[in-house]
Amino acid sequence: MTEFTPQDPDFEARTRASFARQTFMATLGAQMSAVRSGYVEIVMAYNDQLTQQHGYMHGVALAGIADSAAGYAAFTLMAPDESPLSVEYKVNMLRPGAGERFIARANVIKAGRTLSVVQANVFAVDADGNEKLLQTMLQTMIALAGKSDRVEFNPAGAS
C-alpha cells in the first residue's frame, strides 16, 4: 500500500466526527472500525431489514459501507477546511450478501489536490473469521476547498 502523509494531524477525530453525522450509516448499523492515513474500515452486521428479494443483504447496503469507507479514506488526507464529495463510483458484485458480518476496507490509490481515487473491497466474515470477497469498488472523490465539513450547506443553494 502507498504511504500517505496526512495534512491534518487530527484527521482521525475529524473523520470519525463526520462519519457520526451520517444518519444513513446509523440506519445501516455501520460502524467505523479503523481509521488510518489513507485507509478506513467500516463494519456492519447482517440485518433482515436491509435485504434484497432472496434474503441476502442488498448489494446497495453493502456498497453503502464501501462508498463510505472510500470517501472517508480520502477525507483522512484532506486539509481541515476541505469537505469531501463523492463524484462517482463503480462497483462489481462478485457474490451475494450472505454472512453474519460484513467489512469494507478502503485504500486511497491517488490523493490529488482536487481529486482522489480510492479502491474499496467488501468482505463477508464468518464466525471463524474467514473472509470472502463480495464486492470491489473504484471511487472518485472531490475535495471542496474552503468548505469546512462541519458547516451545513444550504440546500436551497445546491446546484
Nearest-approach distance from CB 18 to a second copy, in angstroms: 5
| Of 5, 24, 128, 129, the one binding a second copy by CB under 8 A | 24
Angstrom distance (rounded) from CA 56 to CA 103: 15
Q: Which H helix or E strand runs over 27?
A: helix 23-28
Which stretch, 3-11, 34-42, 88-96, contacts a second copy (CB under 8 A)?
Answer: 88-96
Number of Cβ atoms within 10 Å of the Cβ of 56: 18
From 3-11, 35-43, 53-61, span contacting a second copy (CB under 8 A): 53-61
Which member of 67, 103, 107, 122 binds a second copy (CB under 8 A)? 67
Distance CA 52, CA 63 (A): 13
110 binds a second copy (CB under 8 A): yes
Residue written as cell 475529524? 14
- Residue from the set 33, 51, 101, 125 that interacts with a second copy by CB under 8 A: 51
38 binds a second copy (CB under 8 A): no
d(CA 142, CA 88): 10
Question: d(Cα 61, Cα 121) in Å, to the nearest integer?
Answer: 13
Q: Which residues of 101-133 are buried (b: 16+ CB within 10 A; e: fewer)?
A: ebbbbbbbbebeeeebbbbbbbbbeeeeeebee
Q: Does 148 bind a second copy (CB under 8 A)?
A: no
45 binds a second copy (CB under 8 A): no
Which chain residues interact with a second copy by CB under 8 A? Answer: 18-19, 21-24, 26-27, 48-56, 58-61, 63-64, 67-68, 83, 85-96, 98, 109-110, 114-115, 117, 119, 133, 136, 138, 140, 142, 149, 152-153, 155-156, 158-159
